[in-house]
Chains A and B, each alone.
Chain A
């Protein structure tokens, strides 16, 4: 059965203190790994898609990487506005639109 596990569950950072979030996955026929950001009471906001091991994507202070078993979301010099829950999801086979999500990592960045 496909499985996505995110760690840690929660992360508290000082502004400027870089860190990484982990997403480990077990899936048959990975077609894509997705990172989303979700603010309280809002829908997930798309950040990145990664398709193959070794791929990296960057956006402002965020950088996502992918290996055959896990993905990392690196947050460099975070600001308070980076506070959110970060969700990882995998797309297996050809079931486009059917994502398997992890439970998320709640990130709080304090000034």
Chain B
């Protein structure tokens, strides 16, 4: 049973460029959340997608956008990259309507973005 998979694992961009990160949720999961984790900090919630729509959003600017596809996979796009966008970007998935509704999130290994 494949867990949450993310690509690419590492990438380097320069200021002003745009980046797209990809995520495939754990088998059977239909909801995807994205988090940003700066070095030495806990993950910060960016947004969540369910049924191909953005359902919740954290305190991130519009430069951060996303998409969810019919197969539940998701993309995170960041435009006009800033040095401060350098971080580990984590994708997490869950069942939207779990019978227990435990709220448990399964995380991928992350995409490490470095902005120069």
Asked if A and B are interacting partners, one says: yes
CB distance from A95 to the nearest CB of B (A): 6
Does A97 contact B48, Cβ atoms closer than 8 Å?
Answer: yes
Does A98 contact B33, Cβ atoms closer than 8 Å?
Answer: yes
Cβ-Cβ contact count across A and B, 8 Å cutoff: 69
What are the residues of chain A within 8 A of B110 when measuring CB–CB? 41-43
Does B109 contact A43, Cβ atoms closer than 8 Å?
Answer: yes
Does A104 contact B45, Cβ atoms closer than 8 Å?
Answer: no
Chain A interface main SS type: strand
Does A46 contact B105, Cβ atoms closer than 8 Å?
Answer: yes
Interface range on chain B: under 10, 10 to 19, 20 to 34, or 35 or more? 20 to 34
Report the count of interface residues on A (CB-CB < 8 A). 25
Give 14 pairs: A residue, B residue, CB < 8 Å, sorted on A: A36-B107, A42-B109, A43-B90, A44-B107, A45-B107, A49-B103, A97-B56, A98-B33, A98-B58, A99-B45, A99-B105, A101-B42, A101-B43, A102-B42
9 other contacts beyond A42-B110, A44-B107, A46-B107, with CB at 8 A cut-off? A43-B4, A43-B110, A44-B43, A87-B43, A96-B31, A98-B56, A98-B58, A100-B45, A102-B42
Chain B residues in contact with chain A, CB under 8 A? 4, 31, 33, 40-45, 48, 56, 58, 88, 90, 92, 94, 96, 101-110, 112
